[in-house]
Each structure stands twice: as structure tokens, then as C-alpha cells.
Structure 1
Amino acid sequence: MKYTIVLGYTLTPKWLALSREERNAMRAAHIQPIFARYADRVSARFFDAEAFNTRFSDFVLLETEDLGAYYFLVEELRDSVLISQGYLVLGDVTLGVEDGFQRYEESLSHSGSGS
């Protein structure tokens, strides 16, 4: 099954105090390599949300069939300079299965059960 995860996070004032060049360098050194290591198992799309939401400033939309790879990606993020030095705080995590009910109904038809 394919899982979709919405991972909300907030970039802190410490991050915002960096110049744009410093932010781009941090992204290239500490974020892109982590996502690249999992790109064959976890796809990622990044969104800004600060103008529309007060719970978090940004979110990433992740898709995977491998929850273990997703978990390891998050662990690497938690170990990164970005989180360990206070540039980013993880927030809401929402997990869902696209059209999960259809997958369930398909499983019923294959098992011969169903009402």
C-alpha cells in the first residue's frame, strides 16, 4: 500500500536569522543528502504554509510504500544539524492511505468474504 504523510515543521528564528546564502548552503549540506538517500523509497514535495497556518511554517508531503524507510529518514533528520541545533522543529504528522477503502474491498473479494 502507498502511504502519504504530511509532516509539518517550523523553521525557527535561528534559521530566519541566516542569510539566504547560508540557508541554501545548509539545505545543500544537511537536507538534500538525507532526502536523496531515500529518494528510491520515499518521494518528497515541500510546501510553505506560514501565510496560511499558525501551527507550523512549512510542510513536506511524503509518499512511500516503505514505512521503515520513512521512519529512518525522520531519524536522520532528527540527528541532523537542522534539528539538533535548533533551526527546525518538527510538528504535526498526518498519515493516510490513498483510497484505502478500495484496497480493503479488493482484499475482501480476493479472500472470498464480504457482505
Structure 2
Amino acid sequence: MTTISKDLKHTFFMLVKTTAIWLQISPQERFAFLEKTISPILKKHPSVRMRFFDSEAFSGRFTDVLMWETAEIQEYQFLVEQLRETLFWGTYFEIVEIVPAIENAYANYYKVDPLPISQSS
């Protein structure tokens, strides 16, 4: 039987590049900024899940990928608005690109089961 997802999860891949300003502050100052400024914003939007990937060893265009996932687009949009009002946006990180996606959207459109997720052995 084909299962059609009722809660579409929207995913946003935010490609960011660290700035010289971020790299000039100490790791302790970086972690303090994340804890004091970014953590409260994330906590205000529990329906938005964030994952962080380092990519500087593999790309010269961006250094990190933030993956945001939510079923509530407005919560994601509010979170981004709040990030824009901090040093994260434009001072510590340049936002290179935001790529929106919907996981398994093809399966919902064609009313088929999504391809199975491969599992590592």
C-alpha cells in the first residue's frame, strides 16, 4: 500500500562562508556567541530542526552547510529574520545561497512509496 505523507517536511540548505572577522575571534568567543545569541533563537523555534556540516575542506565557495528542516515554513522564516538581526548574518558568516527542498516530493506527487533509505552495514 502506498503511503502519502501528510506532514511534508521542508528542508533548506543554507550555504554559508565564514568571514575573516569570525576567524579572528578566539574559539571561546565563538562558542560564547553561539550560546548567548544563536541558542536562544533556536530554542524559540522548536519546530525547526538544524543540522550543521563543515565543508571548508571540500569547497572554496562556502565553508559550512546548515540544514534546516520543518513542517512549519513560517517558523523557519521567523528564525531567519531573527538570525538576520545578529552578527551571524553578514558579519560572521556570508550567506552564499539558500536551497529549498521537499524530501520525497516526487513520491507524494505521483502517489508512490519513496525509495528506501539505504542503511550502512
* TM-score over 0.5 for the pair: yes
Q: CA deviation at 1:55?
A: 1.5
Alignment map for 1:16-55 (pairs within 5 Å): 16-39=23-46, 41-55=47-61
* TM-score of the pair, normalised by structure 2: 0.80
- Matches of 1:93 and 1:68, distance apart in 2: 16
* TM-score of the pair, normalised by structure 1: 0.84
Partner of 2:107: 102
Q: How many residues align?
A: 104
SS class of match (2:59): coil
Q: Letter of the 1:36 partner, please give it.
A: K
**Runs of at least 4 residues of structure 1 off by over 2 A?**
81-84
- Matches of 1:11 and 1:34, distance apart in 2: 20
Q: Which runs of 5+ in 2 are unaligned?
A: 1-7, 112-121
Q: Superposition RMSD on alpha carbons, in Å? A: 1.2
Superposed CA deviations along residues 91-111 of structure 1, whole A, max 9, x for unmatched, are 1111111111111223xxxxx
Whichever structure has more helix as a proportion of its residues is: 1
- Matches of 1:4 and 1:83, distance apart in 2: 19
Superposed CA deviations along residues 47-99 of structure 1, whole A, max 9, x for unmatched, are 11111111111111111111111111111100113226x11111111111111
SS class of match (2:88): helix
